[in-house]
Structure 1
Amino acid sequence: MREFGSVKLASWLGEKNIKFVLRIKLGGYIQEQGKEFKRLSECGLVPGTSFYLPGVKVTKQKGFGLFDVAGYWQRKYRDSGEDEGWYLLTNIGTLKQAVTAFKCPSGIEAMFKDCKTGGYNLEALLN
C-alpha cells in the first residue's frame, strides 16, 4: 500500500472533501511550521511509539497544501510484530482514527489494486 500514497493524490482527495489515510515512504520529507525540512526517518519512531503532526508540509515541491502525518509502530510482543512503523498521510483528524482506518481490512488491498492497475489506472490520471 505504501507506494500508493502521494501528495498529488492526497491533494485531489482533499479538494473533493474525501477523508483519506495513505501510507507514505519513510524517505519522504516533512516540514512543521517554523522548522526546517526533515526526513520521516528522523521522527524517532520505534516499536511502541506513535505521533500525530497536524498541518505539516509533506513534500519540498511547491503548490501543495498542508496535511496531517501520523506515525505508528505497534509494540513488539515476544519478538513478534511489524518490522517497521507506519507513516501515514491523512486528513482524518486524530492518530486513533487514522490508525483504525488504515488497519481496516475490508478490501483495502483489492481496492488499491483496482485503482492502480486493475482497471481504473488512477495514478496515470494524476500524472
Structure 2
Amino acid sequence: MQSTNPYAPPPVDVDSLMCRRRAIQVGQQEIHTVTVETSLLRGLQTHVVDAAGNATPVQRGPCRMQVGEREVHQVEVELDAAHRVNVLVDGKRVAEDLFPRMRATIFAIVIVFSLLTSVTIAFAMFLLT
C-alpha cells in the first residue's frame, strides 16, 4: 500500500446521471474498502483504501489486485459478456451488476445515436436522388 491518495474519491455510494460509485468492504480483521466507479467520461475505475486511509493508485477498466498484509485477499473487478460489472473476492462473487442504470443509459445513448445516424443517412440519400 502507498500513502494516502488525496485524489481518490471518497468511499461512498454515488448515483448521479454521469457517475456511479459503489464501495465494498473486504476483510474481517484487516478491513479494506474497494471503491468501484463508472462514468460516461472516464469509464470504469477501481481503487482500494485500507483502515489507515492509505490508498492504492486508481486502476482503469477490469482489474485484479491483492489487498491486505496479514489477511490477504484477491479482488477482481470483472466486466462480463453482458457488460455487467461484478466484484469477486477470493474467487467468490460478492457483488453483481453494480451499475445497471449506467448500463441502461449507455445502451439508450447507443440506440439514439444509431437512429439519428440512420435517419440522417436516409435523408441524405433522399436529397441526392
Q: Which has the higher strand share?
A: 2
Range class of TM-score, shorter chain = under 0.3
- Larger RCO: 1 or 2 (CA < 8 Å, sep 6+): 1
Return the TM-score normalized by structure 2.
Answer: 0.26
Q: Which has the higher helix share?
A: 1
Return the TM-score normalized by structure 1.
Answer: 0.26
